[in-house]
Each structure stands twice: as structure tokens, then as C-alpha cells.
């Protein structure tokens, strides 16, 4: 599954040398430590000559220490610049000069199903996968996360976090986020069947409107979405709560694992995307969100005062 230079119209090895290894250390008392761990390892992509590295945000959220590993084996420190909760993308500033090429940002909106891409990891061709785009469709994550149109590639990269999806022109089209095992519903995605592995890629077009904000103030300059602090899943045409974030609004309101969310502000919800979008439609973080809940056969209404989840997270530390 490794890519071969002769199969591409750009300098493959040069493009892959822009992908760096990333290791982040998070303090044990961090809000995300229990879920994401205190040591996170993945990849990042050099996108500017001044040492800006793009990665997937969960690797660096609340990180106290970040190390970047270059293709030649050299390791240098980095500093977390920012993280966008909505897209899931994050930026790191290298604290020393990186003598490596950068990957130009492409247009993920121009990608098509069937397009050949390289999902590149740190370490060159041996740690990269020759893949194809098998679907472009909505993705909902149980942690109050929705992408209107994520990109899915197969075969899957086994160490996917922060990988670079490199397009036919040798440009950066997306950042690896997850490995999934599920059916892809796009009618043209006939190369992947239920149970096959695929990578979910965050499209690079989501970075462009917020890149300046992330490099200057560490977050997009827009109001935060209301956050409830619940983890949910779809069961048939219902949405069930499967867990609660510690100290989150849903836990404080006595929502419980096993509860079924029937409606938000009187509007019926039947899937994750519908649930989260109805919550976000209520206003900015801090707004009261009315839910209709079924708990063990009993239906009742509850109002949860939402929060800005960023206030629970440790901020970047510059050494």
C-alpha cells in the first residue's frame, strides 16, 4: 500500500518530507486527560516556512509540552498556537528553524470520489499509504462534533492522527482525524464495504477562513457554540446518551447514560447531526437548551444551561 514516486506527477519524497512526527504531553489534571490520555503521538504538516505546523487538534489540546520530529531524525520543541473546536484542526509553532519544504494548501472542494491521494505519515513512503477518496459526506462525532462534508479515504492509514492527505498536484487537501469501520453511504463509493477500514479526513478548506485567527489569537474570532458535555450515539431512529463529560453542563443537570433525547426546543431529533445542530441553533454558549428526555419509559422536559467548553481547558504554555 506504500506510494511509489513514479505513480505521481510531483516529487513525492519532497512532499512527504513536510510531514513531521508530533508528540504532546498533557498534565494529568487536564480536562481531556481521562478521555484522550496524557501522552499523544501523531503527525503534523509544515504549511509555512516560519514553522507553522498543522495537525489534528485532539493531539495538542491542553498540551504542556510538544515535540516535533523531522524526517532526518532531528527533534525540536513546539508551542501550541490554537485549536478550532468546530473543524477539529490545530496549529503548532516550531520553536526552532525547520529546514524542510512546506505543503501548499489545495482546494478540498475540488476533490472527487475515486481521486488518487497519498495519506502521508512522518517517516516518508514507508509510513504512508497510497489511497483513493471513497466518499464525501456528513460526519457526526459522539463528542458534539459535525462536519458538513468530511472526506473518507481507503485503504486506511493505521496511524491516522494528523496525517496529510496529499492530492494529485502535491498539495495538502486534508488532515487525518480518525479510522472508521462503517458503511459509507455515498452511492459512488462502491470500493468500500461495511466493515472495511477508512480514514476520516478533515477538509483543508475549513482551515483557510480561520488560519489568521488561529495564528494570532489562538481560536476563531466568533462566538462559541453551546456545549452540553454529553456523549451520544444513534440507536435506530433515536439518539441515546452514552456518557457525560465530568463537570459538564449535562452532568450538572442530572442527565444520565441511557437517556433518550427525543427533542430539542420542541423539535424532534432522530440522529446525532440533528441533535447537535438543534442545540447550536439555540444561540451562543451559555444559552439554556430545552430537551425532551425519555428515561426508562418516562418522558420529561429538562433545561440545561450550556457552556463554552474552552473555559474548562488548560491554555497553551509557552516555555
Q: Where are the domains of the chain?
A: 5-102, 108-205, 230-312
pLDDT at residue 192, rounded to an integer: 47
In this structure, what DSSP letter does residue 150 have? Answer: E
Assess whether pLDDT exceeds 50 at residue 190: no
Residue 70's closest CA among 97, 106, 33, 89? 97
The continuous run of DSSP H or E covering 76 comes out as: strand 75-83
Assess whether pLDDT exceeds 50 at residue 186: no
The continuous run of DSSP H or E covering 195 comes out as: none
The architecture that CATH gives domain 108-205 is Beta Barrel (2.40)
pLDDT at residue 189, rounded to an integer: 43
CB neighbour list of residue 179: distance below 8 Å, 6 or more residues apart: 156, 157, 158, 160, 197, 198, 199, 200
What value does the mean pLDDT take over residues 137-142?
A: 96
What value does the mean pLDDT take over residues 76-94?
A: 97
Fold annotation for 5-102: Thrombin, subunit H (2.40.10)
In this structure, what DSSP letter does residue 14 have? Answer: H
What 3-state class would DSSP assign to 176?
strand
pLDDT at residue 315, rounded to an integer: 81
* Contact call for residues 146 and 273 (beta carbons, < 8 A): yes
Same fold, 5-102 and 230-312: no
Fold annotation for 230-312: Pdz3 Domain (2.30.42)
pLDDT at residue 184, rounded to an integer: 54
* Averaged confidence pLDDT in the chain: 94
What value does the mean pLDDT take over residues 129-145?
A: 97
Q: What are the DSSP calls for 247-295, one per residue?
A: T-HHHHTT--TT-EEEEETTEE--SHHHHHHHHHTT-STT-EEEEEEEE
Report the 3 state secondary structure along 17-32: CCEEEEEEECCCCCCC
pLDDT tens profile 242-266: 999 999 999 999 999 999 999 999 9
pLDDT at residue 244, rounded to an integer: 97
Amino acid at each position: 500500500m506504500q506510494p511509489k514516486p513514479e505513480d505521481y506527477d510531483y516529487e513525492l519524497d519532497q512532499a512527504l518530507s513536510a510531514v513531521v512526527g508530533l508528540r504532546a504531553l498533557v498534565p494529568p489534571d487536564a480536562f481531556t486527560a481521562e478521555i484522550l490520555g496524557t501522552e499523544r503521538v501523531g503527525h503534523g504538516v509544515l504549511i509555512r516556512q516560519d514553522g507553522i505546523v498543522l495537525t489534528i487538534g485532539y493531539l495538542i489540546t491542553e498540551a504542556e509540552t510538544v515535540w516535533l520530529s523531522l524526517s532526518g531524525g532531528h527533534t525540536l520543541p513546539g508551542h501550541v498556537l490554537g485549536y478550532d473546536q468546530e473543524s477539529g484542526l490545530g496549529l503548532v509553532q516550531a520553536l526552532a528553524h525547520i529546514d524542510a519544504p512546506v505543503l501548499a494548501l489545495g482546494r478540498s472542494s475540488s476533490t472527487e470520489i475515486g481521486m488518487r491521494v497519498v495519506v502521508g505519515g512522518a517517516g516518508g513512503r514507508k509510513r504512508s499509504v497510497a489511497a483513493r477518496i471513497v466518499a464525501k459526506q456528513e460526519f457526526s462525532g459522539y463528542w458534539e462534533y459535525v462536519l458538513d462534508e468530511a472526506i473518507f479515504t481507503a485503504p486506511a492509514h493505521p496511524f491516522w492522527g494528523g496525517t496529510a492527505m496529499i492530492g494529485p498536484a502535491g498539495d495538502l487537501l486534508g488532515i487525518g482525524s480518525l479510522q472508521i469501520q462503517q458503511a459509507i453511504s455515498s452511492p459512488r463509493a462502491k470500493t468500500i464495504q461495511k466493515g472495511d477500514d477508512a480514514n476520516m479526513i478533515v477538509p483543508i478548506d475549513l482551515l483557510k477562513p480561520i488560519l489568521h485567527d488561529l495564528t494570532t489569537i489562538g481560536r476563531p474570532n466568533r462566538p462559541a457554540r453551546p456545549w452540553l458535555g454529553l456523549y451520544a450515539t444513534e440507536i435506530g431512529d433515536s439518539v441515546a446518551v452514552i456518557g457525560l463529560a465530568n463537570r459538564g453542563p449535562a452532568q450538572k443537570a442530572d442527565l444520565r447514560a441511557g437517556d433518550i433525547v427525543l427533542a430539542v426546543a420542541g423539535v424532534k431529533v432522530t440522529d446525532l447531526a440533528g441533535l447537535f445542530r438543534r442545540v447550536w441553533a439555540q444561540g451562543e454558549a451559555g444559552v439554556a437548551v430545552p430537551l425532551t428526555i425519555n428515561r426508562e419509559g418516562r418522558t420529561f422536559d429538562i433545561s440545561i444551561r450550556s457552556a463554552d467548553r474552552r473555559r474548562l481547558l488548560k491554555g497553551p504554555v509557552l516555555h
